[in-house]
Amino acid sequence: MYNLTQEYDKYTEEDFLVWKLLYQRQSVLLQNMASKEFIHGMEEMHFNADKIPDFNHVNKVLANTTGWQIEVVPGLIPDKDFFELLANKKFPSSTWLRKLENLDYLEEPDMFHDCFAHMPLLSEQFFVDYLQEISKIALKHIDDALAIELIGRVYWFTVEFGLIQQENGIRIYGAGILSSSGESIYCLGDKSNRLPFNVKDMMEKHYYKDHFQDRYYVINSYKDLFDAIPEIESLLEQALKSIPHEKNIYATPLDLIL
Ligand code: HBI
Ligand code: FE
């Protein structure tokens, strides 16, 4: 689709330093905060502070687990391309790293977000099956902005900002949190709003891109995500029938009449 490759020998000293600093800060923090499958995936991919991951190696690990592959993209890509890749078991990832001066936050996801935070879970079968199925639903409605907004919300509150109940407590699996030290601490703290996994609730209100989430949803297993696919599809279809499309859905929190 984009015909790009990871030009590994072009990484600079600064890139390796940025990777090292971000990796060291997050990996210490996440030992007791990330889901056990995320930690396991990081180990399987041999992620470490001293080496920017080589996608060829990640692809070998994935070929032996879920069969997914990494597709190099320049950065944020159009929804159609994005969902088309995911529906075909290809995870889109940038290859550039943020600069030292904006270590803590950047607008667009860089490789630390796409690789460190997203890739370890691509070896978890129920998770990638969910990712693939939700993308197939999105493709069926790819020309309907309302549908993509609603699917985008479910994607956001699971793949990017999801939490999971595990034996030793609530743990993080959402990549948007896993690549943010501040939000990793906040989402498990006593000020954050943690709710049981609920697709209808996820669809009903918009989400914020530029500050901590006002709510997080907790699954009990990745199978919960996969099992929710039929409900996601039927709720979406109900919503598309019952909401007048000319309504400006981006203006205010959308209280769906479902
Ligand atoms: N493109 N590379 C990339 N990565 C994303 O996470 C991404 C995207 N395009 C669209 C998008 N995410 C969101 O709008 C999804 O909710 C569709
Ligand atoms: Fe992401």
CA of 152 to the centre of ligand 1 (A): 9
- Residue 246 covered by a domain: no
- Residue 135 covered by a domain: yes
Number of the ligand 1 atom closest to the C-alpha atom of 79: 10
CA of 255 to the centre of ligand 2 (A): 26
Strands of the chain, DSSP E: 69-72, 90-93, 163-166, 169-172, 194-196, 216-219
- Residue 142 covered by a domain: yes
Residue 258 has pLDDT above 70, yes or no: no
Q: Which of 1, 2, 76 to mutate to test the pocket of ligand 1 (most atoms within 8 A of CB)?
A: 76
Q: Beta-carbon neighbour count of residue 162 at 10 Å?
A: 28
Average pLDDT over the chain, rounded to an integer: 94
- Residue 108 covered by a domain: yes
- Residue 211 covered by a domain: yes
- pLDDT classification of 243: cutoffs 50, 70, 90: confident
DSSP-assigned beta bridge partners for residue 169:
166
Instruction: Indicate whether residue 155 lines ligand 1 (CB < 6 A).
Output: yes
Residue 64 has pLDDT above 90, yes or no: yes
Q: Beta-carbon neighbour count of residue 143 at 10 Å?
A: 8
- Residue 157 covered by a domain: yes
CA of 213 to the centre of ligand 2 (A): 15
**CATH code for the domain of 204:** 1.10.800.10
**Mean pLDDT, residues 56-61 taken together:** 98
Q: pTM of this prediction?
A: 0.95
Output the pLDDT for position 219.
98
Looking at residue 12, its amino acid is T
Domain count, the chain: 1
Q: Which of 4, 77, 81, 82 to mutate to test the pocket of ligand 1 (most atoms within 8 A of CB)?
A: 82
- Residue 145 covered by a domain: yes
- Residue 214 covered by a domain: yes
Q: Could you say which DSSP state residue 171 is in? A: E
Q: Cα(136)–Cα(146) distance, rounded to whole angstroms?
A: 16
Instruction: Indicate whether residue 76 lines ligand 1 (CB < 6 A).
Output: yes
- Residue 101: domain span: 8-236
Percent of the chain at pLDDT > 90 equals: 90
- pLDDT classification of 255: cutoffs 50, 70, 90: low
Residue 252 has pLDDT above 60, yes or no: no
